[in-house]
Amino acid sequence: QLSKAADIWIDYHKNHSKKKHATSYQAVIEPFCREFGERTIDQVVPDEILSFLNASPTATIHVPNGSVIPSYPASSILSEITS
User: pLDDT tens across 29-57, in order?
Assistant: 888 888 898 999 889 888 888 788 777 76
Q: In angstroms, what CA-CA distances link 30 with 18, 23, 45, 65?
A: 18, 10, 19, 27
Is the pLDDT reported for residue 78 higher than 90? no
Q: In angstroms, what CA-CA distances link 21 with 17, 38, 77?
A: 6, 25, 11
79 — alpha (psi -120 to 50), left (phi > 0) or beta?
A: alpha
* pLDDT on residue 77: 58
Say which DSSP state 40 is in. Answer: -
Q: Where are the alpha helices (DSSP H) in the chain?
A: 2-16, 19-36, 46-55, 74-82
